[in-house]
Chains A and B, each alone.
Chain A
Amino acid sequence: MAYRFKTDLKWSAVTPKTDYLNRRQLLAGAGAVGLGVTAGPAAAQIAAMSSVYSTDNEPNTLEEISSYNNFYEFGTGKGDPAKHAHQLTTDPWSVKIDGLVDKPGSYDLADILKGADLEERIYRLRCVETWSMVVPWIGFELATLLNRVGVQSGAKYVAFETLVRPEEMPYQNSRVLDWPYIEGLRLDEAMNPLTIMATGLYGEALPNQNGAPLRLVVPWKYGFKSIKSIVRISLVDEMPPTTWNNIGPDEYGFYSNVNPEVSHPRWSQSSERRIGGGIFARRRPTLPFNGYGDEVASLYDGMDLRKHF
């Protein structure tokens, strides 16, 4: 299945390397100031190419991105992950890739990263709770990983699993969700170039509370689809079950594309509050597919998105 992404953008639109390097320095500086701590040496920076898929929206600060998280493995409060995620051991880390693939197996994280071209992708993030952020992820396209392991022709969906390790993820002792956290994408969604596996942000390794060491980022879907701290990727022929869909099938659909026209049963999705705007920041209208309609709307041609929400 050769889904190819088309764009009107030309190479001339790509930011020259010197510019983006400068900008990254500026961003890194801003992040350090925001944290109020001395940042590590510049040498710790992950080398990553800039990308045409990045938004020019102002990114949120590292402090905002790493102190306001939904990661129920560490608690249900927004600040809980930042408080507790330091307990998580992310090295060694391996990912089991199985199902309908040519080369199934347990892959060491270093192995996975060896074949990956890291890019900086500045994406809008829209939470189903109606807040949003802009995050400068570092990552690689999921498609490159899937192509490396060889997707077999019967595969139609990709299923993901988060680590289960209650001794380091304290809230897994609670029953607020069924563990492990599971998510899934249709294969063409997974192969879309916007879909990335992130390993870092702001030029540094991912903070644990943001899903270290490896997480999915699907910018046109509500944030809960972008599963964190992944230990298993399975290629399957049937739509896999997903955590929030299991909890509330009428509230959280399998697709969960950002859609201002389709309300969550308990709240409207037509507008959002951008984190970091201060107390009096205006709400902004939510865009279909979180503004990535040009890139992904065609994936859903002919589908009733009210039914397949």
Chain B
Amino acid sequence: MQRINAVLKRVPTLSLYIAGVVPLIWLVVLLFTGGLGVDPVKALEHRVGKIGLQFMIAVLAVTPLRRFFGLNLIKFRRALGLLTFLYIVVHLAVWLALDIQFYWAEIWADILKRPYITIGMTGFVLMLPLAVTSNNASIKRMGPAGWKMLHKLTYLAALAGALHYVWLVKGWQYEPLVYMGGIILLLGLRIRVNRKRAARI
């Protein structure tokens, strides 16, 4: 593990940002070349949403991976978080512009009346302060303790995202439940660790 960590130390985070936007660029290429099937709008909307959730899971995996396996990915966590935000913004933009097409009456009705959209929108709003403060200046200004506290909102945003997915499909489908299960597991690992720490003190 030491050796892996040493190698990772030399990998610049910029490379993760670049790798992280490759799927998005690829999807845009597919979008304009007919590679997304007969309903490209829904395909794009769903695929960027799902990639957003995958990055979210990666963010949540950083701490348990370090704690249980000694794998240190902390320096990549900000990039993973901002990439999550990027994909969720694109997801929201596709919904607004291409799917519901700025029918504001329907959009407001959807946000207020449809629980899965309400919960998805809640998740997005929770991510806003996280994205805005994902920089060293904010950590300095807020102080590490306050900043850490604020960034616990990630847990709620992740749950909101998974619930949004489970809720939007017809019936109980497996895939969304797998995402939900993964996120609950990663959050659950934290609770146990915190208890242990509390016991030690």
Contact = CB atoms under 8 A, between A and B. Distances in A.
Interface stretch (A46-54, A134-142, A158-166, A270-278): A270-278
Given A268-B109, A270-B106, A131 B40 contact: no
Contact of A266 (B41, B99, B100, B114): B114
A280 B169 CA distance: 24
Nearest to A251: B170
A30 to B, nearest CB: 14
A174 B101 contact: no
Interface in A218-273: 244, 247-248, 263, 265-268, 270-271, 273
B106 A271 contact: yes
Interface in B31-47: 31-32, 37-42
Given A129-B170, A266-B114, A266-B116, A279 B39 contact: no
A271 B38 contact: no
Nearest to B94: A279
A279 B40 CA distance: 6
A280 B110 contact: no
Main secondary structure of the interface of B (DSSP, over half): helix
Given A176-B173, A266-B167, A270-B106, A282 B39 contact: no
B98 A131 contact: no
Interface in B171-190: 171-175
A117 interface: no
B159 to A, nearest CB: 19
Nearest to B43: A78
Given A131-B42, A267-B114, A273-B41, A176 B174 contact: yes
B79 to A, nearest CB: 29
Main secondary structure of the interface of A (DSSP, over half): loop
A48 B164 CA distance: 46
Interface residues of A, number: 32
Contacts of B23: none
B68 interface: no
B189 to A, nearest CB: 29
B129 interface: no
B176 to A, nearest CB: 10
B110 A268 contact: yes
Contact of A279 (B98, B109, B116, B174): B98
Nearest to B167: A266
A265 B42 CA distance: 20
23 contacts: A60-B38, A63-B38, A64-B38, A68-B37, A68-B39, A76-B171, A76-B173, A76-B175, A78-B37, A78-B39, A129-B170, A131-B39, A174-B174, A176-B173, A248-B171, A266-B115, A266-B168, A271-B103, A278-B40, A279-B41, A279-B98, A283-B101, A283-B103
